[in-house]
Homo-oligomer: A and B are copies of this chain.
Amino acid sequence: MRQLPEPSRKRLVQLAKVLEQHRCGEALTLTSEKLGELTGWTQHTIRRDISHLGIRCGSPNGYPADTLLAAIYETLGIAAEQERRHACCIVGLGRLGQAFLSGELFSASPFVLAAGFDKNVNRIETLKTAFPLYPQSRMRGVIAQGAIEYALLTTEDADAPAAARQLIDCGIKGIVNYTAAVLPRGEQTLIENVSPITALTNMLR
């Protein structure tokens, strides 16, 4: 099996969500045409993406939804069965960071919030959370000890590059960047930019 192309990977993430949404009560099999309608991609693209999974579960009435979903989970590394969880942390506990603190957002996902960091010690003493909060200086140790893989970056824009550099030095696998700052790049650290400004600017035309 060849390495999954990046665009296909991202589409499969969406496709998995579509299948989850359709899970209960809906048709048990879905054709590539139907999946195309639901996602906005062509049936060609859908079929190619699915073929990357290396299963061969198609039939004249389409793909069995459950088999397909399982195969996507498998390929993406979300092996549903084996209950593999990925630990995440939040860096920056301002207004935006606090919105994620409840952790409910993550309850139906393979991710768990395991720690929060802020440079303001006052905040970490005041806030009530289901997981521990630490001053940013303790980042390295906590990330290593807790085997934390990913980070949500929700600091002030001005503090973001420095915080990102720390995270990269800790060997974090990926940073979801909610700030408008452009972050330094690390060899092994992936970055997804999701600041509202960036997203909106991307759409301008």
A interface residues, Cβ below 8 angstroms from B: 9-10, 13-14, 17-18, 21, 38-40, 76-78, 86, 88, 95-96, 98-100, 102, 105-106, 108-111, 150, 152, 173-174, 176, 180-182, 185, 190, 192-194, 196-205
Q: Are B14 and A105 in contact (CB under 8 A)?
A: no
Q: Which residues of B contact A190 (CB under 8 A)?
A: 203
10 tightest A-B CB contacts, nearest first? A174-B203, A194-B194, A40-B185, A192-B199, A99-B99, A176-B199, A96-B99, A95-B99, A190-B203, A17-B182
Q: Are B102 and A182 in contact (CB under 8 A)?
A: no
Known: A14-B193, A196-B152. A201 touches B78 (CB 8 A): yes
Q: Are A17 and B109 in contact (CB under 8 A)?
A: no
In the complex, the count of this chain's copies comes to 2
Q: Are A197 and B21 in contact (CB under 8 A)?
A: no
A159 and B35 CA atoms in complex are apart in Å by 21
Q: Are B13 and A198 in contact (CB under 8 A)?
A: yes
A48 and B150 CA atoms in complex are apart in Å by 32
Known: A21-B181, A96-B99. A109 touches B197 (CB 8 A): yes
Task: Give the distance to chain B from A204, nearest Cβ to Cβ, in Å.
Answer: 5
A196 and B106 CA atoms in complex are apart in Å by 9
Q: Are A88 and B194 in contact (CB under 8 A)?
A: no
A182 and B14 CA atoms in complex are apart in Å by 7
A199 and B100 CA atoms in complex are apart in Å by 14
Q: Which residues of B contact A181 (CB under 8 A)?
A: 17, 21
Can you name the residue of chain B whose Cβ is closest to the Cβ of A14? B182
Q: Which residues of B contact A99 (CB under 8 A)?
A: 95-96, 98-99
Q: Are B106 and A197 in contact (CB under 8 A)?
A: yes
Task: Give the distance to chain B from A119, nearest Cβ to Cβ, in Å.
Answer: 19
Q: Are B182 and A76 in contact (CB under 8 A)?
A: no
Known: A14-B193, A109-B180. 12 other contacts (CB 8 A): A21-B181, A39-B185, A77-B205, A88-B200, A96-B99, A105-B196, A106-B197, A111-B197, A150-B200, A152-B196, A173-B203, A176-B200
